[in-house]
Homo-oligomer: A and B are copies of this chain.
Amino acid sequence: MPRWKPDARERLVMAALRLFAEKGYDETTVAQIAERAGLTRSTFHRHFGDKRDILTAGQETLSRLLAEGIAAAPSDATPMAAVAAGLERASRHMTSVNRDIGTLMHAAIEADEELRRRNTSKSVGMAAAMTEALTRRGIPEITARVAAELGVMAFNLGFSRWTGPVDGDPGELAPLTRAALHELHAAATHLH
C-alpha cells in the first residue's frame, strides 16, 4: 500500500485526536489543535466549523461511497451482493492515512466518555445511507435494513481489524471487510 502524505485537513484531524486522547475532548481547544498540527487557527477554520466536526470528518464521504457502490452493483445483484459492492467501493478508498486516523480515533475514544457517545452516531448514518441505497434498488424496507446493518457491522469489524495491532504490513482494507461480511452473513443464516 502506498504511504500517502497527510494533507492539512488530515494533519488537523490527527493532531486533534492525539490531544483528545491525552487531555480529553472537553479540555482541548481549537488553538491547541492548530498549534500541534503546525498550522494556524484560520487554517483550522477553513476546514472545520469547530472541534466537533473532527469526529464526523470523513463520515459523509464514507456514507456516499457505500451508497454509490450499492447503486453501481449489477441490476440482478442480491441484497448481500449489493452490500458487498458498497463495502468494496468504500474500502478501496481507504489509504494508510485513513488507517492512521482510525488508530488514533480508537485511542481517543477509549480515553474519553464524551467521544464514545458521539462516535456511535457514525454507524447510524452509515446504516441510513445503505438502507436508502438498497431500497432504491427495489429491495423491501425490512430486508434493506437488515442487509444495511450487516454491512455496517462488516465495515466496522473489518476496519477495527485493519487498525488494530498487526505484525508487518496490514495490507488493504477491502479483503478484511469482505471476510467480515461473509462471517456475519453466515452467522445470520444460522440463528435458528
Verify if A185 is at the interface (C-beta below 8 Å from B): yes
- Residues B146 and A191 in contact, CB atoms below 8 Å apart: yes
* Most chain B CB neighbours (cut-off 10 Å) among A117, A145, A183: A117
A interface bracket (residues with beta carbon within 8 Å of B): 20 to 34
- Residues A187 and B117 in contact, CB atoms below 8 Å apart: no
- Residues B187 and A146 in contact, CB atoms below 8 Å apart: yes
CB nearest neighbor in B for A52: B117
CB nearest neighbor in B for A82: B191
- Residues A191 and B187 in contact, CB atoms below 8 Å apart: no
Partner of A143, one of B117, B118, B191: B191
**Given contacts A120-B120, A189-B188, is CB(A153)–CB(B143) below 8 Å?**
no
- Residues A79 and B191 in contact, CB atoms below 8 Å apart: yes
A46 — which chain B residues lie within 8 A by C-beta? none
CB nearest neighbor in B for A186: B142
Q: How does the 8 Å CB contact mask read for A110-121 relative to B, with 1 for contact and 0 for none?
A: 000000011011
Nearest Cβ in chain B — how far from A51, in angstroms?
Answer: 15
Q: Which residues of A contact B (CB under 8 A)?
A: 78-81, 117-118, 120-121, 123-124, 140, 142-143, 145-147, 149-150, 153, 183-185, 187-192
